[in-house]
Amino acid sequence: MASAIISRRSFIKDAAPLAAVITVPRLGLAHTIGMRLEWQEFKQSEHYGNFINGIRAMRANSKQTNAASWRYWVNVHVNYCPHGIAYFLAWHRGYLFHFERQLRLASGDPQMVLPYWNYYKDPRIPPEFLDSAGNNPLYVQRAGTSVYNALDLSPFASTVYNFQRGTSNAFETRIESAPHNPVHNLIGNQMATMQSPLDPTFYLHHANIDRLWHAWSLPSGKGTPYTTNPYSSSSSNPYWSGSFTYAPGLSLPRYQAYTPSWLGTSSSNNTMPSSLPPQAQAQATPLKLVQAQMDNILNRPPATPFAATAGR
């Protein structure tokens, strides 16, 4: 598989003549790229109120077999997400894509893009998610309010050169181990289970993980396995062949999750973290029993009302 790993610089050079044939239209999207904003930027934007209303509408929908309900997307995660195995990053990128499209419908805002929470800048859960007053759809009970102790710079070290799980110093393995897993554990409660999308911070967390993956892939020489023809659904690299499943009738060709722009998004900040935030910001929640909590995360609850499908 190593021969199929190419640098981003050579990939962009080879793919440049094909730029006009971007795959986005195959997914029914416009050619324009939506900007994913950090939470502090996003809450000042015109989309913030629609974001709140969209989440409120989805949480109020009790038909969990309906994609317009919040619980539907929890079930998608419970039944299909890969943790601790290949495609952890790419599957979740597609998951954000599909969820984002539904949230736009629920909010009535076709231009809205999910925000991200940059906990390497401020590890405290944004206060809008902690306000229990009124009918705040961002609020759920949580065990912790800071993820400072989850932060780790090792995924962004120069020695982490490979992407694919199973290779030496693989980025996907490193970033899932930290900060991804301990962020879930330190927030706790629903976030420390396979039903973590019940907590709205899940989407900001994974939008940030997705941003960090893209940031890591940008420097010259950092390679992600790909195919000789990136605009073809038939891949010469089996890593990107086939499709991701999210629910019966809901899938995504794997190769389209290679880079965020192919799914219609970019982030306002595409740089890797180089330092940790001040300790004074921590309000740290002790990171205890991480392995026990990860066992809980990987212990999926009973199947939900999705139709039976073949095993992965």
pLDDT (0 to 100) of residue 283:
60
Task: Give the span between the Cα atoms of 23 and 140, in whole angstroms.
Answer: 38
**Gyration radius (Cα) of the chain, Å:** 19
Assigned domain for 303 exists? no
Assigned domain for 108 exists? yes
Assigned domain for 306 exists? no
Instruction: Note the pTM of the prediction, 2 decimals.
Output: 0.81
CA distance readout (Å), 23 to 9, 163, 237, 279, 292: 20, 23, 18, 44, 42
pLDDT (0 to 100) of residue 280:
60
Assigned domain for 309 exists? no
Assigned domain for 26 exists? no
Cβ neighbours around 29 below 10 Å, total? 18
Assigned domain for 305 exists? no
Structural domain span for residue 63: 2-15+33-298
Q: What CATH number does the domain containing 72 carry?
A: 1.10.1280.10
Q: Mean pLDDT by 10-residue block, N- to C-terminus, for the chain (312 residues)?
A: 30 27 37 90 98 98 97 98 97 98 98 98 97 94 97 95 89 97 98 98 98 90 58 63 95 92 95 90 49 42 42 32
pLDDT (0 to 100) of residue 307:
45
Quick one: which H or E segment has residue 174? helix 171-175
Assigned domain for 279 exists? yes
Assigned domain for 304 exists? no
The number of folded domains in the chain is: 1
